[in-house]
């Protein structure tokens, strides 16, 4: 027996109303009723973080929120940050630092990073590493993701110019920093 | 398939009314970090979800005289953000910092973690060492206070009656105690405890008082009463430690499961206990 | 000549779309009137199917189709590899769409459902009734290879393939050895655990063509799907999406046959997405291996003989097991020069889920064994492990165990040294209960597919009249920049700025087929095809420009939007007028080029001899660990991976492969365990199957060495798979260095390490 209730959730500032079952998750609502397929479903059980959204200002795994709990409330997905300077900087940093390979963890990872930097303006690299420990990545090994976040954190806290760890390489750099060895031809 | 209903009470009284009305099927939904996976896995097929996540009566961290009071829907992250908890209940703070992962911590609640009754409950272990009291309420039984040490009755089982809610927890801050907390999981985040341990001790020339709580090592989270009694008045030296750890192992009863064998859990308990006592008494 | 775009860490063309959440992955796509598919699966690991009753399911309101094997035009296909080469000899290459008469593994697909909602499809699953006659299953390959074991597949003997290496005389070699080390190593399953589960949408066009929009590493499977449906190849089209992680798990057909059948039957679009539980329980995995090794050496440290017996678990359908076994056989001795080698490798069917491709493809398993053997040998010889390796590395011009003469540089010593040095000065543990240790391991991993598969790849490049460019290439992109790198090549060769290049990828009908994104072959194959197309176009441009400028072609260079004289850049023709002139003169401004890998013959017997792969990538890992002696927990303090990448066309992408591959290898080495009981996997969620989180690993430090000796564009070698080879034995060697225990099976969980430590204490 399906017991449907209509709920209105503000997704990226727009009210979206749809009937849902009591046990339907916010993730299901976002993907299936609000057309917000930028919120990914990797496991549907809270173990991977790909469904992370900003809910009431906090990063949450949307598969662990009942849609009805979000009634009348604000949810922001990765598409809800147009014009937001911190998010745009983070996105640009991710893109430039090679923090995006397959990209499936990226929307969730960006939201977690955004919320973290907002609450922690001057984090250490280890604190950044811990902040993303609920978001799995299977492609990058996490290093370039942490580089990308750290770069923005340092810029914001004016700790001085970002010094890449020995093996990070920025566009335009001609010389490798000692980690590249050219052996004369074959 | 799944037969579910959702109700949003305006206040605690209404929540209790709903719970009474649907006793047996009622589930208090706050962080939903256990409820939703259980629905998804088919473990929970019939439920009336009573959304308590906005109830003011269940919120807040405060101090009243000597007691620190925690609303049951306090999230793990709120514990970490609280000066009171950080300064006056560091063992609880420490456990909160190892709980699940930062994103889940934004939603998971202290009350939810206890009510779920897992033997591996991460909040139960520090709260047992703090000798917390759980304040329950329901229409049938009214308000009652149960010491946490009597709260768990078996794996996934507590003394909660079907329509009863945890309203808050309270415990004394123990400024003259030294604490130690350790959680051992199969990885460093998003890990269910394989073994967890909290020790609190008041030290003079000897151990004046010791409290030891363990998680994931018995059908419920436990206090090691015999070991605590044994350590009272003793000086820490290797013979005492040896005997204490043997006693400790007799007070737990770990199982073998997908995460670890019984034998390994016993080893972990011993190692963690040694380390705890050494650290506290150093 | 200085390269302008190649060698730069420019961002990928798909990165912004991913950062903004605008990329439409497989499950993100929907169509009007779309139905939802579900697979009904076996609840037993081995049984006869006496009857299937689907009537209740079919009659459930909202259900549009229930399909069993009877409804499948061709339910059984013989595996075909390569482009047109039918290989049937020696192994069972059966692809069975739906269970027919029997089930061989828990979760084997029995029926397909299409319904109006996912919930209805799930309900319909519960209404399907199957009459099973349970049969005793065999779950252990060592048992299954015994002569009296029940027959699992179509061969009486469960040994799906047997490969051998016979080089020199191992008996003689051992008799001359002053030191002999024997070891038995065991590795279990590894799940790809890509964050995007298997998914796709299919529909039928008005002319009857079936279109499948799917997350797949191989769009050439359109041929098999066409055969399943008994349609001409030209009537099935794959549109490949950007993939949310592949690693080999989306190399075989996953959802496509089911989608095609359901769409074809219902004439409606159908979406099918696996749940995570489904994916973990039934999709193909890395092969468990049982490996027995015997290594003999002289007192000076020269290895004189290696004997190995390898048994892998082929699962219940062979899939790519024979090929994985072949790779293991070729790699069994490692990158060392050994005169006497005897390898016997078997892959054996069992009633367990399918094992198939996973990054490394048979190389990581044997690498664990041979690099553990190396350190054990070093111990027995009382020799430094790096020194022992140095005395035995394969050198340019020497032969692999398979008899193939390796004619290029093998900078293993340099790689090992660089990796080791990067660990820095050795520090002792400051904690009373931990010990710090270091370990080294090297590895070899092929790139390019097996040469007897006669691999080819195609790419199309076109210049637009305004100087922008178009690339069309069938390459599937799993996130490593497989598509993007082609744009860098075009930009370099034709002087077109990157932001003016448009890429169309991964369409089996609209883009030239580039072959599989597997076997670390795309940069090599589609990169070379693209390079070839560019150079042809460039020739035409240079020829025309030479005419216009009245100079020789050899004096001209392309770059920055013009064709100019090298010695006098003021003499040039701008690209746009040149292109327009060429167009006006009737020249073809496009090239579709094909690149062929070296071709060899199918092995005639079980003995593997001669060339099997185009080339290999060599690497070395140095690892520092801290082992807790009270809990057995292994913390990784430092990981350094040094690889000869030939040429790093995009260093950021190359580093990303090393950093990511290392961490995936850490998972394999320490965390990822998939116990199986009576044929059923016991870890059906990501809470039980543990992949590394950010706090489980340190920053991996990649060291890129560029020998320029690769077969890829600009001398590049492949780097996709190699970083997962070497990391596990480096960790095990470091554990041994720290606390003196040799772990011989993966994963080296803390329980395993502690129990080994206790054992060691007791024996002292």
B32-50 pLDDT, tens digit per residue, is 999 999 999 999 999 999 9
Interface predicted TM-score of the whole assembly (ipTM), two decimals: 0.97
CB of A103 less than 8 A from some CB of C:
yes
CATH 3.50.50.60 for domain B56-172: no
pLDDT per position as a tens digit, B79-124 = 999 999 999 999 999 999 999 999 999 999 999 999 999 999 999 9
- Cα dist from A46 to B183, C246, C346, C425, C686, whole Å: 20, 22, 40, 41, 9
- Cα dist from B95 to A25, B68, C284, whole Å: 28, 17, 38
Count other C-beta atoms under 10 Å from residue C76's C-beta.
Answer: 14
- The answer to whether C529 and C457 are in contact (CB under 8 A) is yes
Query: Which pair of structure tokens corresponds to residue C524?
Result: 């090599």
Cis peptide before C747 (omega within 30 of 0): yes
Same domain for C460 and C423: no
Q: What is the CATH number of the domain that holds A26?
A: 3.10.20.30
**pLDDT > 70 in chain B, percent:** 100
- Name the average pLDDT for chain B: 96
pLDDT category, C380, cuts 50, 70, 90?
very high
Predicted local confidence at residue C84, as pLDDT: 40
**pLDDT at residue C86 greater than cutoff 50:** no
* 3-state SS, residue B142: strand
Give CATH 3.30.43 domain extents, chain B: 3-51
Predicted local confidence at residue B93, as pLDDT: 97
Predicted local confidence at residue A2, as pLDDT: 64
Q: Is the dihedral of CA C366, C704, C412, C741 positive or negative?
A: negative
Q: Give which of C325, C321, C66, C39 is closest to C199, Cα–Cα.
A: C39
Same domain for A13 and A64: yes
Q: Give which of C263, C251, C250 is closest to C212, Cα–Cα.
A: C263
CA distance C26 to A56: 30
Same domain for C611 and C589: no
Is A167 a member of any domain? Answer: no
Report strand pairing: C434-447 vs C615-628: antiparallel
Q: What is the CATH number of the domain that holds A146?
A: 1.10.150.120
Q: Of C238, C273, C308, which residue sits at a domain end?
A: C273
Strand-by-strand arrangement of the C129-134 sheet: C102-103, C47-53, C129-134
Number of domains forming the structure of chain A: 2
Neighbours of chain C (3+ CB pairs under 8 A): A, B
Is A146 a member of any domain? Answer: yes
Q: Do B106 and A46 touch (CB under 8 A)?
A: no
CA distance A69 to A67: 5
Is A18 a member of any domain? Answer: yes
Query: Which pair of structure tokens corresponds to residue C674?
Result: 């998939």
* 3-state SS, residue C287: coil
Predicted local confidence at residue C79, as pLDDT: 72
Is C162 a member of any domain? Answer: no
Q: Give which of C613, C574, C596, C383 is closest to C496, Cα–Cα.
A: C574
Q: Which residues on B lie below 8 Å from A58 (Cβ)?
A: 77, 106-107
pTM of the model: 0.96
CA distance C745 to C652: 33
Is C631 a member of any domain? Answer: yes
Q: Which residues on A lie below 8 Å from C406 (Cβ)?
A: none
- A91: domain range? 85-156
Same domain for A62 and A106: no
Same domain for C235 and C91: yes
Same domain for C347 and C304: yes
- Name the average pLDDT for chain C: 96
Matching CATH number, B3-51, of 3.90.1530, 3.30.1380, 3.40.50, 3.30.43: 3.30.43
Q: Give which of C314, C309, C311 is closest to C294, Cα–Cα.
A: C309
Q: Which residues contact C423 (CB under 8 A, 6 or more apart)?
A: C438, C622, C624, C638, C640
Same domain for C755 and C649: yes
CA distance C479 to C457: 19
Query: Which pair of structure tokens corresponds to residue C625?
Result: 């660990």
Number of domains forming the structure of chain C: 3
Q: Which residues on C lie below 8 Å from B105 (Cβ)?
A: none
CATH 1.10.3720.10 for domain B178-281: no
> What are the respective helix, strand and coil percentages of chain B, to the nearest 5?
35, 30, 35
Report strand pairing: B67-71 vs B61-64: antiparallel
Is A166 a member of any domain? Answer: no
pLDDT per position as a tens digit, C438-473 = 999 999 999 999 999 999 999 999 999 999 999 999
- The answer to whether C406 and C397 are in contact (CB under 8 A) is yes
DSSP string, B155-217: TTEES--TT-EEEEEEEE--TT-EEEEEEE-SSSSS---SEEEEEEEEESSSEEEEEEEEESS
Q: Give which of C208, C47, C199 is closest to C118, Cα–Cα.
A: C199
Same domain for A31 and A58: yes
Count other C-beta atoms under 10 Å from residue C431's C-beta.
Answer: 11
Q: Which residues are bridge partners to A93 per DSSP?
A: none
Residue among C12, C25, C695 minimizing CB distance to A104: C25
Q: What is the CATH number of the domain that holds C532?
A: 3.30.365.10
Residue among C409, C656, C704 minimizing CB distance to A144: C656
Task: Determine the angle formed by the axes of helices C484-494 and C522-549, rounding to 10 degrees.
Answer: 20
Interface of C with A in 150-209 (CB under 8 A): 192-197
Q: Which helix (H) or strand (E) holds C625?
A: strand C615-628
- C754: domain range? 289-394+410-450+603-763
**pLDDT at residue C589 greater than cutoff 60:** yes
Is C152 a member of any domain? Answer: no
Q: Taking residues B151-176, what's their average pLDDT?
A: 96
Q: Which residues on A lie below 8 Å from C22 (Cβ)?
A: 38, 79
Q: Give which of B44, B254, B64, B79 is closest to B155, Cα–Cα.
A: B254
Q: Which residues on B lie below 8 Å from A41 (Cβ)?
A: none
Instruction: Measure in Å the smallest separation between the Cα of C144 and chain A Cα atoms.
Output: 34
CB of B274 less than 8 A from some CB of C:
yes
Q: Mutating which of A98, A107, A111, A137 best tests the C interface, going by the most C Cβ atoms within 10 A?
A: A98
Is A164 a member of any domain? Answer: no
Is A112 a member of any domain? Answer: yes
Q: Give which of B176, B264, B150 is closest to B217, Cα–Cα.
A: B264
Query: Which pair of structure tokens corresponds to residue C744?
Result: 């011989």
CA distance C91 to C161: 5
Residue ranges in chain A modelled with pLDDT below 50: 1, 163-186
- The answer to whether A75 and A7 are in contact (CB under 8 A) is no
Give CATH 3.30.390.50 domain extents, chain B: 178-281
Q: Which residues on A lie below 8 Å from C701 (Cβ)?
A: 165-167, 179
Q: Give which of C627, C625, C631, C626 is closest to C758, Cα–Cα.
A: C631
Burial-class residue C92 by CB neighbours within 10 Å (0-12, 13-18, 19+): buried
Q: Is the dihedral of CA A153, A155, A159, A160 positive or negative?
A: positive
**pLDDT at residue C163 greater than cutoff 50:** yes
Same domain for C302 and C416: yes
Same domain for A111 and A45: no
Predicted local confidence at residue C604, as pLDDT: 79
Instruction: Measure in Å the smallest separation between the Cα of B282 and chain A Cα atoms.
Output: 28
**pLDDT > 90 in chain C, percent:** 94
CA distance B221 to B226: 15
CA distance B262 to B7: 42
* 3-state SS, residue C239: strand
Q: Of C564, C596, C628, which residue sits at a domain end?
A: C596
CA distance A43 to A34: 20
- The answer to whether C244 and C18 are in contact (CB under 8 A) is no
Same domain for C357 and C268: no
Q: Is the dihedral of CA A110, A111, A112, A117 positive or negative?
A: positive
Residue among C433, C633, C754 minimizing CB distance to B275: C433
Buried b / exposed e over C36-53, threshold 16 CB at 10 Å, is: bbbbbbbebbbbebeebe
Q: Of A58, A80, A102, which residue sits at a domain end?
A: A80
Q: Taking residues C77-82, what's their average pLDDT?
A: 66
pLDDT category, C605, cuts 50, 70, 90?
confident
Same domain for C254 and C234: yes
Query: Which pair of structure tokens corresponds to residue C757?
Result: 């430590």
Range of lowest pLDDT (B61-65, C348-352, C650-654): B61-65
CB of A78 less than 8 A from some CB of C:
yes
Burial-class residue C443 by CB neighbours within 10 Å (0-12, 13-18, 19+): buried
- What is the chain B residue with the closest CA to A53? B103
pLDDT per position as a tens digit, C720-746 = 999 999 999 999 999 999 999 999 999
Is A186 a member of any domain? Answer: no
CA distance A8 to A18: 7
CA distance C644 to C706: 6
Q: Taking residues C217-223, what's their average pLDDT?
A: 97
CB of B189 less than 8 A from some CB of C:
yes
Report strand pairing: C94-96 vs C76-78: antiparallel
Count other C-beta atoms under 10 Å from residue B141's C-beta.
Answer: 11
Q: Which residues contact C241 (CB under 8 A, 6 or more apart)?
A: C24, C25, C26, C29, C213, C214, C215, C506
**pLDDT at residue C270 greater than cutoff 70:** yes
Q: What is the CATH number of the domain that holds C96?
A: 3.90.1170.50
Same domain for C417 and C357: yes
DSSP symbol at C178:
S
Same domain for C679 and C550: no
Same domain for C238 and C322: no
Is A176 a member of any domain? Answer: no
Q: Taking residues B20-37, what's their average pLDDT?
A: 96
- What is the chain B residue with the closest CA to A1? B3
DSSP symbol at B152:
E
Same domain for C672 and C657: yes
């Amino acid at each position: 027996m399906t017991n449907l209730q209509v709920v209105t959730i503000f997704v990226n500032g727009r009210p979206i109303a749809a009937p849902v079952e009591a046990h339907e998750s916010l993730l299901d609502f976002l993907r299936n009723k609000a057309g917000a397929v930028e919120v990914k479903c990797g496991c549907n059980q809270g173990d991977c973080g790909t469904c992370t959204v900003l809910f009431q200002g906090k990063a949450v795994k949307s598969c662990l929120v009942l849609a009805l709990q979000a009634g009348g409330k604000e949810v922001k997905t990765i598409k809800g940050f147009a014009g937001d300077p911190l998010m745009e900087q983070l996105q640009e940093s991710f893109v430039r630092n090679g923090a995006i390979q397959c990209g499936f963890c990226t929307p969730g990872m960006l939201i977690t990073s955004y919320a973290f930097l907002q609450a922690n303006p001057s984090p250490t690299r280890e604190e950044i590493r811990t902040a993303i420990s609920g978001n799995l990545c299977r492609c990058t090994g996490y290093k370039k993701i942490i580089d990308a976040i750290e770069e923005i954190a340092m810029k914001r806290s004016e700790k001085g110019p970002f010094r890449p760890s020995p093996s990070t390489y920025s566009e335009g750099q001609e010389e490798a920093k000692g980690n590249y060895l050219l052996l004369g031809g074959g | 398939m799944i037969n579910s209903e959702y109700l949003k009470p305006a206040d605690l009284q209404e929540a209790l009314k709903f719970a009474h009305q649907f006793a047996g099927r009622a589930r208090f939904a706050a962080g939903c970090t256990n409820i939703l996976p259980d629905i998804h896995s088919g473990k929970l097929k019939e439920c009336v979800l009573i959304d308590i996540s906005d109830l003011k009566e269940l919120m807040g961290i405060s101090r009243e005289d000597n007691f620190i009071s925690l609303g049951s829907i306090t999230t793990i992250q709120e514990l970490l953000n609280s000066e009171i908890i950080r300064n006056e209940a560091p063992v609880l703070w420490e456990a909160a910092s190892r709980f699940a992962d930062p994103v889940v911590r934004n939603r998971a609640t202290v009350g939810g973690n206890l009510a779920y009754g897992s033997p591996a409950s991460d909040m139960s272990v520090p709260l047992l060492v703090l000798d917390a009291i759980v304040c329950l309420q329901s229409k049938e039984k009214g308000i009652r206070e149960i010491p946490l040490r009597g709260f768990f009755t078996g794996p996934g089982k507590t003394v909660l009656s079907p329509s009863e809610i945890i309203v808050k927890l309270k415990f004394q801050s123990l400024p003259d105690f030294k604490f130690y907390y350790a959680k051992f999981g199969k990885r460093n985040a998003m890990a269910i405890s394989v073994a967890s341990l909290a020790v609190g001790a008041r030290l003079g020339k000897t151990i004046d008082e010791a409290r030891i709580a363990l998680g994931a090592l018995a059908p419920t989270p436990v206090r090691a009463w015999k070991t605590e009694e044994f350590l009272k008045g003793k000086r820490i030296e290797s013979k005492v430690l040896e005997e204490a750890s043997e006693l400790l192992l007799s007070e737990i009863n770990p199982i073998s499961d997908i995460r670890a064998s019984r034998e390994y859990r016993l080893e972990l308990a011993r190692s963690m206990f040694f380390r705890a006592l050494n650290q506290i008494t150093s | 000549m200085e390269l302008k775009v190649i060698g730069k860490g420019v961002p990928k063309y798909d990165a912004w779309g991913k950062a903004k959440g605008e990329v439409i992955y497989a499950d993100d796509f929907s169509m009007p009137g779309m139905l939802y598919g579900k697979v009904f699966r076996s609840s037993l690991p081995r049984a006869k199917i006496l009857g299937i009753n689907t009537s209740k399911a079919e009659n459930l309101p909202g259900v549009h189709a229930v399909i069993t094997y009877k409804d499948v035009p061709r339910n059984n296909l013989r595996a075909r590899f390569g482009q047109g080469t039918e290989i049937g000899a020696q192994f069972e290459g059966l692809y069975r769409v739906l269970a027919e008469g029997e089930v061989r593994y828990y979760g084997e697909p029995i029926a397909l459902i299409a319904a109006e909602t996912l919930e209805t499809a799930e309900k319909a699953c519960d209404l399907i009734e199957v009459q099973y006659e349970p049969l005793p299953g065999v779950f252990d390959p060592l048992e299954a290879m015994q002569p009296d074991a029940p027959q699992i597949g179509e061969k009486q003997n469960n040994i799906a393939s047997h490969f051998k290496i016979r080089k020199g005389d191992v008996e003689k070699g051992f008799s001359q050895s002053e030191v002999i080390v024997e070891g038995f190593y065991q590795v279990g399953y590894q799940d790809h655990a890509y964050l995007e589960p298997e998914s796709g949408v299919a529909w039928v066009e008005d002319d009857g063509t079936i279109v499948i929009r799917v997350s797949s590493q191989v769009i050439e499977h359109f041929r098999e799907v066409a055969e399943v449906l008994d349609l001409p190849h030209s009537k099935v089209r794959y549109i490949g999406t950007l993939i949310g992680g592949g690693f080999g798990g989306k190399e075989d057909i996953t959802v496509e046959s089911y989608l095609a059948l359901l769409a074809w039957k219902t004439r409606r679009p159908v979406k099918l997405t696996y749940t995570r539980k489904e994916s973990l329980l039934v999709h193909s995995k890395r092969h468990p291996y049982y490996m027995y090794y015997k290594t003999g050496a002289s007192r000076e440290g020269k290895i004189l003989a290696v004997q190995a017996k390898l048994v892998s678990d082929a699962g219940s359908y062979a899939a790519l097991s024979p090929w994985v076994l072949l790779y293991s056989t070729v790699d069994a001795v490692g990158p060392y020069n050994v005169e006497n080698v005897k390898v016997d490798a078997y892959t054996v069917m069992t009633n367990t889920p399918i094992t198939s491709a996973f990054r490394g493809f048979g190389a990581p398993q044997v690498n664990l064994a041979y690099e553990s053997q190396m350190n054990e040998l070093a111990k027995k010889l009382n020799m430094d492990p790096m020194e022992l390796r140095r005395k035995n590395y394969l050198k340019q011009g020497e032969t692999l165990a398979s008899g193939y003469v390796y004619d290029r540089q093998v900078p293993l010593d340099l790689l090992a040294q660089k990796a080791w040095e990067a660990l820095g000065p050795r520090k002792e543990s400051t904690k009373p209960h931990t010990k710090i240790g270091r370990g080294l391991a090297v590895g070899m991993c092929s790139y390019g597919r097996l040469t007897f598969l006669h691999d080819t790849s195609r790419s199309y490049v076109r210049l637009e009249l305004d100087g922008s460019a178009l690339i069309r290439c069938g390459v599937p992109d799993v996130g490593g920049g497989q598509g993007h790198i082609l744009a860098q090549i075009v930009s370099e060769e034709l002087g077109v700025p990157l932001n003016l290049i448009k890429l169309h990828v991964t369409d089996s009908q609209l883009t030239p087929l580039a072959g599989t994104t597997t076997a670390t072959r795309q940069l090599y194959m589609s990169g070379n095809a693209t390079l070839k197309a560019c150079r042809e176009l460039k020739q035409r441009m240079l020829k025309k420009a030479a005419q216009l400028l009245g100079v020789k072609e050899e004096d001209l260079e392309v770059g920055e939007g013009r064709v100019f004289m090298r010695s006098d850049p003021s003499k040039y023709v701008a690209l746009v007028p040149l292109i327009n002139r060429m167009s006006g003169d009737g020249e073809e401004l496009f090239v579709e080029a094909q690149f062929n890998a070296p071709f060899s013959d199918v092995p005639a017997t079980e003995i593997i001899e001669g060339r099997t792969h185009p080339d290999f990538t060599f690497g070395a890992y140095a690892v520092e660990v801290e082992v807790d002696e009270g809990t057995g927990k292994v913390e990784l303090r430092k990981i350094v991976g040094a690889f000869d990448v030939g040429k790093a066309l995009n260093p950021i992408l190359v580093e990303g492969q090393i950093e990511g591959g290392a961490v995936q290898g850490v998972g394999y080495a320490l965390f990822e365990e998939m116990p199986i009981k009576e044929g059923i996997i016991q870890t059906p969620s990501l809470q039980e199957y543990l992949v590394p989180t950010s706090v489980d690993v340190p920053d991996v430090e990649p060291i890129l060495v560029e020998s320029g000796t690769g077969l890829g564009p600009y001398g590049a070698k492949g780097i996709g798979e190699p970083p997962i080879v070497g990391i596990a034995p480096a960790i095990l060697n470091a554990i041994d260095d720290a606390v003196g225990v040799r772990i011989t099976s993966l994963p080296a969980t803390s329980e395993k390490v502690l129990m080994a430590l206790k054992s060691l204490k007791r024996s002292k």
